C-alpha cells in the first residue's frame, strides 16, 4: 500500500483514471510506439488531509528543455501576475534592499515586475526552454530544481530572502519536506512564503477532475498545508482565494509566532470541515461525480458526431490530457485541437494522438462546436471569439457541468 508523501500514513486510494500519458507529452508520429504511460490513480490521506497521486513519473520526464507550457500563453494570467507583484511590493517588502525568490518562475511572468523595478530577484526554473525566455528578458534565473541544498547555495551567494513565491508549482513537487526546509534556510526571520495552487475545495465542488494529471502530485487544502508547515515550525497566517485555474488558493506562510493569524484562515478551515474534506465519503462521491461527468460528455460528443457536426478542441491544455484519455475521446469525435503555442502545433496530443493545429485553422474554418479545454480562460477566450458564436458556433464546457453555450 502506498504511503502519504507528507506523513507516511497508508493512503486511501479511491479512484483510478486508468493508463495515462504525460499531460504535456505532445509528440510526433515516430514517437507513438514508445509513448510512456502510467496509472493515474489518486488517494487522500485520512491523517494529514493531503490529496495526492499514488504514483508520479520522474521529474525529468515532465520538466526538461522541451517543456511546452509557457505561462505567457494567457493574457489573463499576465494581468493576474502583474496584480500579484504589485500586492507583494506594497504589502510584503519592507526592507531597504529587498530580495525575492521564485520557484517555477517559467518565462518570468511574475518576476519581470521585480526586474523592471530593479528589485533584487532570483528565479529557479528547471525547464530550460522556458527559463531561457526569462533570461533573455533580463530576469535573473537559474535552471535547476529547487530543494534544501539549492536554498543553501542561494543564501551563500545572495543572502536571505524577504519573500519566496511559488505559483502552480508547489503542488507539482513530491519532496515537499525538502522544499519547506529550503524555505526555512532561505527566509529572513520576518520573511514570508506566498504560494498559490488549484484548491481541493474547488475541484471537489466543480468536479474539475482534469486538475488531476502527472504534474499535479497534490491538490492542497488549508488543513493539509497547515499540517505540512506545522512540521517545520512555520504557520499559515493568511489566505486569499483566487479565481485563476478554475479556483485556486493563495497561502501566506511565515515562521511561527512572527505574525498574527488572520480570521480568514479559521473561517476557511470551518468551511473545509463543512465540506467534509476529511471524510472518505466525500471522495467516494467525487469519484461518482467524475464518472457521471465522463459519461455525459462522451454521450454528448457521440450524439453530435452522429448528427455529422464538426467538433474541434480549443486549447491543448495539460488538463485536456486527463479529459481526453479518461473519456476515450479520439479523432472519431474531435477533428483537431487548436492551440496558440508554437511548440505544440504540428504535434499530436498525448495518448489519443489528436492533431494540434495553429489557431488560424480554427478561425479560418469555424467548426460547429468547440470543446473548451481552457474553461479557466473562458472570459478571455469568449471575448475574442465573438465571431465564432455570431456565425453559429457553439461552445461545449464541462466544468462545473456539461453545457452547450
Ligand atoms: P492553461 C499548465 O496547465 C500546466 P494548462 C501546469 N501544470 C499548471 O499547473 C498550470 O499551467 C499553471 C492555450 N491557449 O493555462 C495555450 C490557447 O490556445 O489552462 C496553452 O497551450 N488560446 C504548470 O496547460 C494552453 O492553452 C488561448 O486563447 O492546463 C494553456 O492552458 C489561451 C488563453 C490559451 O494551462
Ligand atoms: N509559475 C508559473 C509556471 C507554472 S508551471 C505559472 O503559474 O504560470 C510549473 C513550473 O514549475 C514549470 O515551469 C516547472 O519546470 C517548474 N518546476 C517543477 N519542479 C520544480 C522545482 N522542484 N523547483 C523549481 N521549479 C520547478
Ligand atoms: Zn498524510
pLDDT of residue 304: 98
Taking each helix axis from N to C end, the angle separating 318-327 and 280-306, rounded to the nearest 10 degrees, works out to 80
Q: For ligand 1, say whether the CB of 242 is within 6 Å of any of its atoms.
A: no
* Residues above pLDDT 90, as percent of the chain: 99
Q: Which ligand is nearest to the CA of 349?
A: 1
pLDDT in tens, 217-226: 999 999 999 9
Measured between alpha carbons, how far is 372 from 381 in angstroms, rounded to an integer?
A: 9
Ligand 1 pocket mutation pick from 26, 69, 398 by most atoms within 8 angstroms of CB: 69
Average pLDDT over residues 165-174: 98
Q: What pLDDT does 247 receive?
A: 98
Question: Does the structure show a pLDDT above 80 at 1?
Answer: no
Distance 290 CA to ligand 3 centre (A): 23
- Beta-bridged to residue 51, according to DSSP, are 44, 219
Rounded mean pLDDT of the chain? 98
* CB of 380 shorter than 6 A to ligand 1: yes
pLDDT at 37 (0 to 100):
98
Q: How does pLDDT run across 29-73, given as a tens digit for each residue? A: 999 999 999 999 999 999 999 999 999 999 999 999 999 999 999
As a whole number of angstroms, the distance between CA 5 and CA 29 comes to: 36
Nearest CA to ligand 1 atom 4: 318
Q: Rounded mean pLDDT of 187-191?
A: 98
Ligand 1 and 374: CB distance under 6 A: yes
In SS3 terms, 226-280 reads as HHHHHCCCEEEEEEEEECHHHCEEEEEEEECCCCCCCHHHHHHHHHHHHCCCCCH
Measured over the CA atoms of residue 51, residue 56, residue 58 and residue 59, the dihedral's sign is negative
- Mean pLDDT, to the nearest integer, of 384-389? 97
pLDDT at 101: 98
Give pLDDT tens digits for 35-46: 999 999 999 999
Checking if the pLDDT of 250 tops 90, the result is yes
Which of the four pLDDT bands, split at 50, 70 and 90, describes residue 333? very high
Q: Which residues contact 336 (CB under 8 A, 6 or more apart)?
A: 312, 313, 354, 355, 356, 357, 361
Confidence of residue 161 (pLDDT cuts 50, 70, 90): very high
Residue 33, pLDDT score:
98
Whether the predicted model's global pTM rises above the 0.95 cut: yes
Ligand 1: does its nearest atom lie under 6 Å from the Cβ of 140?
no
> For the chain, how many residues are written?
405
pLDDT recorded at residue 66? 98
Q: What integer pLDDT is reported at residue 166 of this predicted model? A: 98
Q: Are 52 and 218 in contact (CB under 8 A)?
A: yes
Measured in angstroms, how far is the CA atom of residue 215 from the centroid of ligand 2?
Answer: 10
pLDDT at res. 103: 99
Q: By three-state DSSP, how is residue 303 classified?
A: helix
Q: Whose CA is nearest to atom 9 of ligand 1?
A: 168
> Do 211 and 219 meet the contact criterion of CB atoms below 8 Å apart?
yes
Amino acid at each position: 500500500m502506498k504511503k502519504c508523501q507528507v506523513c507516511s500514513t497508508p493512503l486511501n486510494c479511491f479512484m483510478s483514471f486508468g493508463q495515462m500519458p504525460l499531460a504535456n507529452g505532445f509528440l510526433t508520429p515516430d514517437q507513438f510506439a514508445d509513448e510512456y504511460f502510467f496509472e493515474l490513480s489518486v488517494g487522500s490521506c485520512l491523517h494529514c488531509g493531503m490529496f495526492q497521486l499514488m504514483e508520479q513519473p520522474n521529474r525529468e520526464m515532465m520538466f526538461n528543455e522541451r517543456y511546452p507550457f509557457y505561462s505567457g500563453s494567457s493574457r489573463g494570467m499576465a494581468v493576474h501576475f502583474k496584480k500579484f507583484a504589485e500586492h507583494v511590493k506594497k504589502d510584503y517588502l519592507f526592507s531597504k534592499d529587498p530580495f525575492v525568490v521564485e520557484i517555477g518562475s517559467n518565462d518570468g511572468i511574475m518576476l519581470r515586475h521585480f526586474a523592471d523595478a530593479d528589485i533584487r530577484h532570483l528565479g529557479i526554473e528547471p525547464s530550460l526552454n522556458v527559463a531561457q525566455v526569462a533570461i533573455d528578458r533580463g530576469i535573473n534565473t537559474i535552471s535547476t530544481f529547487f530543494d534544501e541544498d539549492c536554498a543553501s547555495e542561494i543564501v551563500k551567494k545572495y543572502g536571505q530572502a524577504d519573500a519566496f513565491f511559488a505559483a502552480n508549482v508547489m503542488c507539482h513537487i513530491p519532496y515537499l519536506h525538502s522544499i519547506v526546509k529550503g524555505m526555512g534556510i532561505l527566509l529572513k526571520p520576518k520573511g514570508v512564503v506566498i504560494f498559490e495552487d488549484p484548491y481541493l475545495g474547488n475541484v471537489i465542488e466543480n468536479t474539475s477532475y482534469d486538475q488531476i494529471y502527472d504534474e499535479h502530485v497534490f491538490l492542497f487544502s488549508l488543513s493539509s498545508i497547515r499540517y505540512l508547515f506545522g512540521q517545520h515550525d512555520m504557520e499559515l497566517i493568511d489566505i486569499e482565494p483566487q479565481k485563476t485555474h478554475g479556483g485556486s488558493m493563495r497561502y501566506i506562510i511565515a515562521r511561527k509566532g512572527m505574525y498574527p493569524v488572520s480570521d480568514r484562515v479559521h473561517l476557511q478551515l470551518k468551511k473545509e470541515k463543512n465540506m467534509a474534506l476529511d471524510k472518505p465519503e466525500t471522495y467516494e462521491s467525487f469519484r461518482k461525480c467524475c464518472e457521471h461527468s465522463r459519461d455525459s460528455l462522451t454521450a454528448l460528443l457521440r450524439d453530435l458526431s452522429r448528427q455529422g457536426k464538426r467538433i474541434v478542441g480549443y486549447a491543448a491544455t495539460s488538463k485536456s490530457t486527463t479529459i481526453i484519455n479518461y473519456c476515450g475521446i479520439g479523432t472519431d469525435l474531435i477533428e483537431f485541437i487548436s492551440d496558440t503555442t508554437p511548440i505544440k502545433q504540428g504535434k499530436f496530443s498525448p495518448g489519443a494522438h489528436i492533431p494540434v493545429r495553429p489557431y488560424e485553422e480554427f478561425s479560418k474554418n469555424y467548426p460547429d462546436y468547440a470543446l473548451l479545454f481552457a474553461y479557466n480562460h473562458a472570459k478571455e477566450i469568449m471575448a475574442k471569439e465573438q465571431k465564432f458564436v455570431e456565425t453559429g458556433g457553439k461552445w461545449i464546457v464541462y466544468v462545473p457541468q456539461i453545457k452547450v453555450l
